[in-house]
Structure 1
Amino acid sequence: MVATQPPLPINIMPLQYADIPIVSRNTASAFAVDPHTLVKQLGKGGYDMYAISSSGFLDNLGKKNYMHFKAVSVDPTTNDDTGETTILGHISWAFRGVSDQELDKMPRPHQPPITAEEATNTIVTVAAEDENTTTTAAAAVADDEEATNKIQRLHDLEDEDMQAWMSSIVPPGPCIFVTGLIVAPGYQSRGVGSRLLQKLNETADAMGLCVWVHSSHQAYRAYHKAGFEVTRVLELDLDEWATRGPREDEAVMGDLNLDGTRQGGELGGNGLEEGEQGQRKWGRYIIRYLKREPRFPASSV
């Protein structure tokens, strides 16, 4: 078992355009060791999670109804080789049904020292220099149509389940949807996710808003500690959907601790379920749809 490390001293600050390459790289690194993401790539040609993430930030960072915050370490021992402050994680959420008057009170990213156009140029440069920004570990497989259709059915199943949640459980009216919560690999189980969720909860409580989130298997524990409750579950046997078994260097659910961190800090643990002999499996993955009620409901928003 991995020894528990003490929480890091952290400041929570609004995300800036200049941060987009860093948080996009953190996102790509986190998804690169997620078994669910790896399986959903099989037969699909791979996801460039760096490009997807950076494009999303460029599109949404300036939008009034979106909020993005970063967790920045104030511990000099966690700074990178250049002496720059390390971004340990980030959180994003979207408001629904909230008035412009309320949204105008929210903190916004500063344009200086980098604009959206400059951020785009930086993103392209970083992507060209860093071949690890693309999550491709599971991509080289299954060119045949049957395998590709199998993965597409998994995507369709999850899309339909999401729509069922939105239509049958989430009520109309003002609320918050969490659109992303990422802790950089190497800083998990250090209180980063809890601090980011604390910022979210403080905002929701001040505005009297309910918060909804489609949670990954690994993030559930952090959300649960932050007061979120399960409203719907989709359980997946990844091996029933996968078009091949995991390679030795690929993450599987059996490698994960309860908080989503890697056992021993390495990829490719034994990945074996009880009673199996010598065969690694992707494992079972649970998507949870969560809800948190505000502690101080507002009479109106």
Structure 2
Amino acid sequence: MSGQTFTIQALQLQDVPEAAQLSSDAFLTDRQTQMKALGRNPFNMKEYQTQSLPEMLKSPRCVILKAVDNETGEFAGFCNWGLIGFSPEEMPVVEGRIQPPEKPAAAPAQQSENENDKENGKDKEKEKSSAVEPKPSPDADPDDPIERLQALTGADLDAWQKEVMPKGTKCLVVIGLSVSPKFQRRGIGSALLRWGTNICDEAGVFAWVHSSEPAWKIYEKAGFQVIRTLDVDLDEYAPCPPPDEGPEAKWGHYVFRYMKYFGSQD
């Protein structure tokens, strides 16, 4: 792109701490993230990304890109793409990315168990359940309103994935996108998304994203369309009023948007 002041590269393992901090900074003003941090088991975006990104880097079906400012060398943003249904030969090559093996080496005692998992479809389920957002704990406390909210949003996301990705589907998924507040409005998010939408155009497949309330406009700008929504009254699940906003303050409604990019196949 003419005048582009940043470079798109493959995220490396040593980038994880910086990426986790950047993601935390990018979600500081997100109302749902703010509220979840006040639950009995406070959600911490930095902690979540620190734990999940190394596992994503090991996946042959994930491509994590970062944007680096050309002038300062600063980490400006990153996007985690999941590619579903692509054969190893169809996976895009990204300079600097270490391609994880399709079948990680396993000890002999583990091999039969791994084969059983594959036969039972567990490998496919792991591929589909990429961490678009944290899943509620299986021993979630029904008395914790934040965990009830996560159960609601998690069930809705699972239902969407079953609908949008039946067996044999080939598509891309935006697992996560974060741009540093310092580097926003410079086309970084658009460039990180364009990488995946270009693949959609070339392969004739779609992409989808489960968008947070603040981010959906950037996806719309990149060509994604809202297919359906989940409108949540956060005050029904809030453990307390918003801190430091006065006694009458409300959390308000938060709309999750399920969006698809259809690209040139239309």
Give me the TM-score of the superposition, normalised by structure 2: 0.75
Post-superposition CA distance 1:22-53 (Å, at most 9, x none): 11110122233321012223333322322321
Question: Could you tell me which amino acid in structure 2 is paired with residue 227 of structure 1?
Answer: G
Equivalents in 2 of 1:14, 1:68: separation in Å?
6
Aligned residues of 1:182 and 1:193 also touching (Cα < 8 A): yes
Residues 78-89 of structure 1 aligned to structure 2 (within 5 Å): 79=72, 85-89=73-77
Aligned residues of 2:172 and 2:207 also touching (Cα < 8 A): yes
Does structure 1 residue 155 correspond to structure 2 residue 150? yes
Does structure 1 residue 214 correspond to structure 2 residue 228? no
Equivalents in 1 of 2:234, 2:257: separation in Å?
16
Equivalents in 1 of 2:221, 2:21: separation in Å?
27
Aligned residues of 1:206 and 1:296 also touching (Cα < 8 A): no
Q: Structure 1 regions of 5+ residues with no counterpart?
A: 1-6, 80-84, 112-144, 249-267, 271-277
Percent identical among aligned pairs is 33
- 1:296: how far off? 4.8
Post-superposition CA distance 1:209-259 (Å, at most 9, x none): 2101100011100000111011110011111210111112xxxxxxxxxxx
Question: Could you tell me which amino acid in structure 2 is paired with residue 208 of structure 1?
Answer: G
2:250 alignment partner, SS class:
coil
Does structure 1 residue 228 correspond to structure 2 residue 197? no
Q: Structure 2 regions of 5+ residues with no counterpart?
A: 99-140
Q: Summarize the Cα distance change of 1:187–1:153 in structure 2 as closer, same or farther, 3 Å threshold.
A: same
Equivalents in 2 of 1:246, 1:227: separation in Å?
34
Corresponding position of 1:93: 81
Question: Could you tell me which amino acid in structure 2 is paired with residue 100 of structure 1?
Answer: P
Equivalents in 2 of 1:33, 1:162: separation in Å?
23
Question: Could you tell me which amino acid in structure 2 is paired with residue 287 of structure 1?
Answer: F
Aligned residues of 2:171 and 2:207 also touching (Cα < 8 A): yes
Corresponding position of 2:261: 292
Does structure 1 residue 56 correspond to structure 2 residue 52? yes
Post-superposition CA distance 1:128-182 (Å, at most 9, x none): xxxxxxxxxxxxxxxxx78x43222111111111122122344441111110000
Does structure 1 residue 106 correspond to structure 2 residue 93? yes
Corresponding position of 1:117: none
Q: Summarize the Cα distance change of 1:42–1:198 in structure 2 as closer, same or farther, 3 Å threshold.
A: same
Over the residues paired in the alignment, what is the CA RMSD in angstroms?
Answer: 2.3
1:288 alignment partner, SS class:
strand
- 1:192: how far off? 1.7
Equivalents in 2 of 1:55, 1:106: separation in Å?
25
Number of residue pairs the alignment of both structures matches: 221
- 1:11: how far off? 1.7
Q: Summarize the Cα distance change of 1:296–1:10 in structure 2 as closer, same or farther, 3 Å threshold.
A: farther
Post-superposition CA distance 1:271-300 (Å, at most 9, x none): xxxxxxx72221211100010113158xxx
Corresponding position of 1:17: 13
- 1:100: how far off? 1.2
Equivalents in 2 of 1:16, 1:72: separation in Å?
12
